[in-house]
Amino acid sequence: MLTSCSKILSGWPLTSPWSQAAAGAVTLGKLNMDEFAMGSANESSHYGAVKNPWDLTRVPGGSSGGSAAAVAARLLPAATGTDTGGSIRQPAALTNLTGIKPTYGRVSRWGMIAYASSLDQGGPLARTAEDCALMLQAMAGFDAKDSTSVDQPVDDYLATLNQPLSGLRIGLPKEYFGAGLDARIGEKVMAVVDALKKLGASVKEISLPTMQHAIPAYYVIAPAEASSNLSRFDGVRFGYRCANPVNLEDLYKRSRGEGFGAEVKRRIMVGTYALSAGYYDAYYLKAQKIRRLIKNDFVAAFSEVDVILGPTTPNLAWKLGEKNNDPVAAYLEDIYTITANLAGIPGLSMPAGFVDGLPVGVQLLAPYFQEGRLLNVAHQYQQVTDWHTQAPTGF
């Protein structure tokens, strides 16, 4: 979305300069999102909150909640989203969709307004793994306009969808099934495990010991990068400008203070503090070291298993406004998804059933550039289940 759903970019051109016509797609319109992709509920948008089609009193997840809600409500067959800490996978889980975050660098970020440049990655949301494979096939590939794009051949994702799962090794991290997980979601995860075992997969318990440090590491690194990326929005060059500034300092302060929402300002302040003299080593440098340890955990795990499986979210979709006064509670909803962004590996969420009428998602993680394996597992599961075919009442 060209305005990133922020007041500071209100009035920015409404017609996108980019087109999907070369891939045969038709762009139907713009969708809502959390302001500058900062949020887990799609409630921080300057244009108002998005509602979950499965229960209009609940959130659809974020930050790509507008994309998820539109696909879940059958307004369109598929949509693109961005995933910085789970912002494709989490809304996919809360709205009964399949969503995939590719390996960092697999899909070009050119044209995307940056939130955290070392974490952001674009990907598709759709009803099925097959539709996601179609989308990703068109989206993936090297782009000289993006300095983080990886020049590596793109696999034929559709060609491997029907490969049998015989011999597939699935890892279940013991850290995923602690006290913070809704037990009903845990039951749905284990039901998926049982279904995959019937398809020929084997399962073993693994450990991701550094996962407990992922939330604090992420919420130092991401805000630090955001504080740098969003410094360009100063009321001088483009975007919102306050009325009648008395001097340059007043222009900066009021333009940013009036133009940014509460969550964006919170993260900019955290990031600026973490990067400031005297605190860089204590916070940002330590967070980057933790990031490396998280990556090492995944490298070790994938020497034993082919994919990692677990819940996408610890809880069901919560009520609109429920976590507005407790940002830390909202941050904890990303506990299972942010590690994939910190490590740069691909992750996919797929429908796994319902609890009290609300969707549950299961997450799959794979080694670098193994998106095809994730899509294959999800597709095979969707051949023996019908969760992904169910739509919210009235849509």
**Least confidently predicted of 4-13, 133-142, 361-370:** 4-13
Question: Who wins on pLDDT, 28 or 175?
Answer: 175
Can you spell out the DSSP letters for 74-117? Answer: TSSSEEEEE-SSSTTHHHHHHTT-EEEEPPTTSB--TTPPPSST
Can you spell out the DSSP letters for 296-308? Answer: HHHHHHTTT-SEE
Q: What is the model's pLDDT at position 257?
A: 95
Arithmetic mean of pLDDT, 157-186: 96
Please check the confidence at residue 21 and state whether its pLDDT lies above 60.
Answer: no
| Integer CA distances (angstroms), 80 to 20, 53, 61, 98, 236, in order | 11, 18, 15, 12, 31
| Identity at 331, one-letter amino acid code | Y
Q: What is the model's pLDDT at position 20?
A: 57
Please check the confidence at residue 338 and state whether its pLDDT lies above 70.
Answer: yes
Domains and CATH numbers, the chain: 7-389 (3.90.1300.10)
Please list the residues that pair with 107 across neighbouring strands: 140
The model carries a pTM of 0.94
| Identity at 195, one-letter amino acid code | A
Alpha-carbon span 8 to 97, nearest angstrom: 31
Alpha-carbon span 210 to 202, nearest angstrom: 25
**Least confidently predicted of 9-23, 49-63, 376-390:** 9-23
Arithmetic mean of pLDDT, 137-158: 95
When pLDDT is cut at 50, 70 and 90, the band that residue 26 belongs to is confident
Arithmetic mean of pLDDT, 366-374: 98
Please check the confidence at residue 171 and state whether its pLDDT lies above 80.
Answer: yes
